[in-house]
Amino acid sequence: MDYKEFFKGKKATQIGLGLLGRGVGDADFLARNLDRLTVTDLKKKEDLEPSLKKLAGYTNIDYVFGEHRLSDFADKDFILKAAGVPLDSPYINEARKNKIPIEMDASLFFKLAMAKGTPGKPFIKFIGVTGTRGKSTTTVMIYEVLKRAGKRVFLAGNIKDIATLPLIEKIEEGDYVVAELDSWQLQGFAEIGMSPQYAVFTNFMPDHMNYYKGSMEAYFEDKSAIFRNQKKGDTLIVGEGAEHLVKGKTQADIVVAKEKNLKGGALPYMHGEHNLLNAACAVTLCDIFGINRQLIWHVFSTFRGLTGRMEFLREYDGVVYFNDTNATTPDATIAGLKALCPHALEDELRIVLIAGGTDKGLDPAPLSEAVARYCKGLVLLPGTGTDKLLPMLERINYDYSKIDKVSNLEEALAQARKRASKGDIVLFSPAFTSFGLFKNEYDRGERYITLVSHIGLEDFLRQNSSKR
């Protein structure tokens, strides 16, 4: 079936436009292919201006700002649900009551792409990557290897500024699509009863417990949609240590990605043992496609990781600055601390940690112990997560003179610089989400990068003005 036939003459509601580029890309595609589109978002019109400017030329879009209306979930051919909109939302329930299909961008793309193929010969090779940690890095590793191997390959899914649905216009038979899929996007795959032909499941640990109301079972139910509906002949790559989670729950061929598979090869230049497992998952998947190991090692030797994930920014006056803004869980921050200082001794603590933010319903106690072990100083941004961490630090008798509580990121970096000496590391690894002070983790990271890039500028300007 041609995708144009699917959309021709239809009306739909898109719930969630956002500012990260994915929602606006989907809206642009839908406006070009549908008869009529309703876009509804809880944000105010002025907050969405960057996205709205990109859609200014369309006359077939109706907008609803600052609210959702039940009437927009009736008399439609389908609803396009944004990731993060709860499945038990009253608006989704209204659509179900009216027997309107619920679609999501990545799963709708996959369904349409598979419809282009013939039995036994899929139109494209679709690779879905998920896991609590490592999915972004693993996704991009796979993409870079396939691209270097001369394949026509596209990035998709939970990638900033990339809308998945419009890729249906670009793909050709035999292309590769590598999609990072978070637990919310995988709800869409469960909805259509399909799973990717090639799935990578890196690991599974607590996250998003605020959304899942403390239920790891509900979280796993969404995550497992990546392999639950795989068929015989499909492939599931699972990170070593997580194989027990998938055993007996898929018809696909299961291949365990082990770090020993990296033996004799060039490793990516990234901090942290967890990145070895990411690399192992990428290698194991690329082996399935028969990619030459020497080519893989060459790609790995030049791979420097992703923005916002243990990202080296600069060194100034002997102090090194890292940006780990995508660490939105205590476990992720602990991994970052271990990566930078795996053999820390109490009298040689070298890390000043900037952390804090909004709670996701996760236990901060292990983070308090890691702070005591690895950090010479702790600078805390405000938030409900910070409020949960402080009593944990008090419980282990952490020296409160090492803590600075600040109200914004500018103050945080200033205090971290005061505590850091030559040979130290300033690590921005929040351990919590960005709600409140920032639009999202990308905004948070970009602000930190800008602030770090300006370090020393005042000294330079002062020195030059004194010479005049």
Sign of CA dihedral 21, 96, 100, 106: positive
d(CA 323, CA 427): 6
Is 388 assigned a ligand-binding role in the annotation?
Answer: no
Is 137 assigned a ligand-binding role in the annotation?
Answer: yes
Strand partners, 425: 320, 351
**Joined tokens for residue 371:** 């702070």
Is 136 assigned a ligand-binding role in the annotation?
Answer: yes
d(CA 222, CA 372): 35
**Joined tokens for residue 211:** 């959304």
d(CA 332, CA 319): 22
Percent of the chain as helix, strand, coil, to the nearest 5: 40, 20, 40
DSSP structure string for 136-178: HHHHHHHHHHHHHTT--EEEEES-TT--SGGGGGT--TT-EEE
Strand, coil or helix: 125: strand
Q: Give the CA distances from residue 376 to residues 251, 357, 427, in Å, rounded to whole numbers and listed in that order.
A: 50, 20, 11
Is 132 assigned a ligand-binding role in the annotation?
Answer: yes
Binding site feature residues for ATP: 131-137
Residues in binding site: 131-137
